[in-house]
Amino acid sequence: MNEQTQKLEASAETTTRRIVLSDGTEAATQSIGPAPGHDNLGDIVICHGTPWSSRMWLPLARELGLHHRVFLWDMPGYGDSIAEEAVAVDLVTQRRRLAELLDIWGIQMPHVIAHDIGGAVALGAHLLENRDFASLYLLDIVTLDPWGSPFFRLVAENEPVFAALPPQLHRALVTEYIAGAGGEGLGHSSVQELAAPWCTGAGQPAFYHQIASLRPEHTGPIVNRLGEVRCPARVGWGEDDPWIPAEQAKLLTQLLPGTTTTSRFSGAGHLVPLESPDEISFDITKWLNSNAPGTIS
């Protein structure tokens, strides 16, 4: 990054806000950019996956915020939106929260970047809550069957037992679980940062509650309507994703309408923004530029 870009990034305005939603939950949100002297080339909304938060996307969001207005949110039950008491965190509820947030933010036709279960949340808001997007960038998303590991089923059947683990055993479990999502490019410090929100008094039960709440039957209606997506879409996938096989990228592009483009990131696992940050930044920026107003595809 050159000195001029560093200056622009430092001057891009960031606003942090906790928004109380109609169901009584709070969502920690941030909006970034655009930098002074730069036009807004389009609003961007980023939807994180599990068991992560929007923090994973902050470096890219700051970069995109030079020329866009970027909105991030921690879904209730994740990151800075973890509450002392358990809240509903199923995919149906989260997609409705996203639709409500778009109304609160006053955003129409944003570009949406979605990862993991954030893909199901974004697609659900689009297809089932009737929110329009300018474009969709879908990265290693949870939507197509099969998804949900044997560990998911074990937690669903024994959630109180896991929630009651001694803290040191829970920390070891969640750290190992997160480390297993990435490839060689996922560093130890990234794993520790991703695990941190789940290793608090409120975070431990929240970790198992969100796993137990994620059900494939909530993505079935989305899959059935993928052919009704009303905006350009691009699919990105870590070539070595150990959680969701990269073969799903091809199937997803076949189910989406129009000419859906695909990027596969060599050597990356499930956490491409942390494992291949330069490559994902280049690909998303190119995608956004190709869908800027007035651009002829």
Per-residue pLDDT tens over the stretch 43-84? 999 999 999 999 999 999 999 999 999 999 999 999 999 999
Residue closest to 73 by CA, chosen among 101, 54, 94:
54
Q: Tell me the CB-side half-sphere exposure of residue 294, using CA atoms within 13 A.
A: 2
More confident residue, 98 or 291: 98
Cβ count within 10 A of residue 139: 28
- Classify residue 112 by burial, with Cβ atoms within 10 Å: 0-12, 13-18, 19+: buried
pTM of the model: 0.94
pLDDT band at 256 (very low <50, low <70, confident <90, very high): very high
Over residues 276-294, the mean pLDDT reads 91
pLDDT(241) > 70: yes
Over residues 84-102, the mean pLDDT reads 97
Q: What is d(CA 52, CA 274) in angstroms, rounded to the nearest whole number? A: 12
- Give Cα 207 distance to the centre of its chain: 16
Q: What is d(CA 91, CA 110) in angstroms, rounded to the nearest whole number? A: 20
More confident residue, 156 or 172: 172
Place of tokens 């050597």: 267
Largest Cα–Cα separation, the chain: 57
Q: Across the chain, what does the average pLDDT equal?
A: 93
The reply to whether omega before 205 is within 30° of 0 (cis) is no
The domain at 3-147+215-290 falls in which architecture?
A: 3-Layer(aba) Sandwich (3.40)
Residue 211 Rama label (left phi>0; alpha psi -120 to 50; beta): alpha
Residue closest to 114 by CA, chosen among 79, 143, 85, 87:
143
Contact 93, 121 (CB under 8 A): no
Q: What is d(CA 221, CA 209) in angstroms, rounded to the nearest whole number? A: 23
Type of residue numbered 294? G
Q: What is d(CA 139, CA 116) in angstroms, rounded to the nearest whole number? A: 7
Over residues 251-277, the mean pLDDT reads 95
Q: In what order do the strands lie in the sheet with 261-265?
A: 14-20, 26-32, 69-74, 43-47, 111-115, 135-139, 233-238, 261-265
> What is the predicted pLDDT for the residue at 295?
52
Place of tokens 């008094």: 201
Percent pLDDT > 90 in the chain is 86
Q: Which residues, 6 or more positions from 157, have their beta carbon under 8 angstroms from its beta carbon?
A: none
Q: Tell me the CB-side half-sphere exposure of residue 180, using CA atoms within 13 A.
A: 11
C-alpha to C-alpha distances, 216 to 151, 158, 212, nearest whole angstrom: 14, 18, 11
